[in-house]
Structure 1
Amino acid sequence: MNRQLRTARPDHLAWIHPHSFRKTVATRIEQRYGTLAASRHLGHSSTAVTENAYLARPKVQADYTNAFAYSPD
């Protein structure tokens, strides 16, 4: 399958590999049904493996810079 994928995908999508699909499915299941459901779907014995290796993490962190804003009393 990996050879077929390499042959079929354009160069700008070279980052896609079979594991990408597994990670996408895990993330979607986790978003809707929770980490335990995603972990069970993937056949993991622990949610730790699912959390560390499969679930997508937010690329942008929340903006907390307003905590440092000057506010005269």
Structure 2
Amino acid sequence: MSTANVRRAWRAALGTEYAWVKPHSFRRTVAILVKRQYRVQGAQAQLGRANTRVTEAHYIERVTHVPDMTSGLDTFRTA
């Protein structure tokens, strides 16, 4: 099957509700799940990458929760 036919079948199967899902979405999801259990080295091995740099940059979820530092930053506020 050609890649164009696979893409067309993929779009038809997903419809409009899941149009944002791409085959790469599954690769990223697998990398995240493997990383949670086996660390980034496990995800790197699963993806077949030579090193962890690309795995960390493009496939692994980034930490988005940071501590509240408002009180420390308040020193910069002008009164």
Q: TM-score, normalised by structure 1?
A: 0.78
Structure 2 SS opposite 1:12 = coil
Question: In structure 1, what is the Cα distance between the partners aligned to 2:51 and 2:20?
Answer: 27
Query: What's the Cα RMSD here?
Result: 1.8
- The 1:65/1:12 distance shift into structure 2, 3 A limit, reads farther
Aligned to 1:64: 69
Cα offset, 1:68, TM superposition: 4.5
- For 2:59, which of 26, 29, 54 is the aligned residue? 54
Structure 1 SS opposite 2:60 = coil
Runs of 4+ deviating beyond 4 Å = none
Gaps in structure 1 of 5+ consecutive residues: none
Q: Pick the structure with greater CA Rg.
A: 2
Does residue 12 of the first structure (1) align with residue 17 of the second (2)? yes
Larger RCO: 1 or 2 (CA < 8 Å, sep 6+): 1
Q: TM-score, normalised by structure 2?
A: 0.73
Structure 1 SS opposite 2:61 = coil
Gaps in structure 2 of 5+ consecutive residues: 1-5, 75-79
